[in-house]
Amino acid sequence: MSNPRILVIPGSLRSGSYNVKLAALATKELALAEADVTRISLADYPLPLYDADIVAKSGPPENALKLKRLLEAHRGIFIASPEYNASITPLLKNTIDWISVVREPGEAQLAMFQNRAFALGGASPGRSGALNSLLTLRQVLAIGCRALVVPEQVVIPNATQAFDERDMLTDARAADLLRTVVRKLIAYARLCGA
């Protein structure tokens, strides 16, 4: 069975972001599990605030098209989501909104969210470990976009102490959970590619 292609997306641009660290760890674990893994930064795909008038006037921005094609080239997607005011970042929501409206002629709405698996993780300095963010993101993907979201997720609370000087997780249970989530993502991605 071939190794599935997995895309890793941190939902933060902040320098020193805990979720960029989590995304890097997920990338490492995916590679160790022999997935064909790609990690991106949304800083490389700047998008304006979603506006249906832009789509009507000139079509979706080129970066929305690039991101859609990138997601389509992968059977699994891991998103590391920070938490802003008990929800997902505007960056992440805006990215999903733009990708959701990009369609080829004759393509069904939200088709690119089908036949691939999404896995979620989040790190936060608070005690909830970005749990509220992941609940919102799960709702956006599973209900709004009709995507398959892996039931398991990794939540990293107290993120200021969660990473050591090499950006590894200090809590063995959290590290084990991350390994479980990425292995589940690989398994679901293989099923989606079958």
Query: Looking at residue 128, what is its pLDDT?
Result: 87
Tens of pLDDT, residues 3-37: 999 999 999 999 889 999 999 999 999 999 999 99
Q: Is it the case that residue 194 has pLDDT exceeding 60?
A: no
**What is the pLDDT at residue 15?**
82
Considering its fold, how many domains does the chain have in total?
Answer: 1
Exposed/middle/buried for residue 36 (C-beta within 10 Å: 0-12, 13-18, 19+): middle
Write down the H helix ranges in the chain: 18-32, 52-58, 62-72, 90-101, 131-139, 159-162, 172-193
Q: What is the pLDDT of residues 133-188, one digit of tens each?
A: 999 999 999 999 999 999 999 999 999 999 999 999 999 999 999 999 999 999 99
> What does pTM read for this prediction?
0.96
Q: Confidence class of residue 120 from pLDDT cuts 50, 70 and 90?
A: very high
Closest CA to 110 of 80, 143, 150, 78: 143
Please state, rounded to an integer, the average pLDDT across all residues of the chain.
Answer: 94
CATH code (residue 24): 3.40.50.360
Q: Around Cβ 23, how many Cβ atoms within 10 Å?
A: 25
Position 53 scores a pLDDT of: 95
Q: Would you put residue 129 in left (φ > 0), alpha (ψ -120 to 50) or beta?
A: left
Residue 156: give the domain boundaries. 5-193
How many Cβ atoms are within 10 Å of 44's Cβ, its own excluded? 9
Is the pLDDT reported for residue 104 higher than 90? no
User: In the block, which residue shows the tokens 């963010």?
Assistant: 133
Phi, psi dihedrals of residue 123, rounded to the nearest 5°: -125, 140
Give residue 1's pLDDT band: very low, low, confident or very high (50, 70, 90).
Answer: low
Percent of the chain scoring above 90 in pLDDT: 90
Residues of the chain above pLDDT 70, percent: 99
Mean pLDDT of the 53-76 span: 95
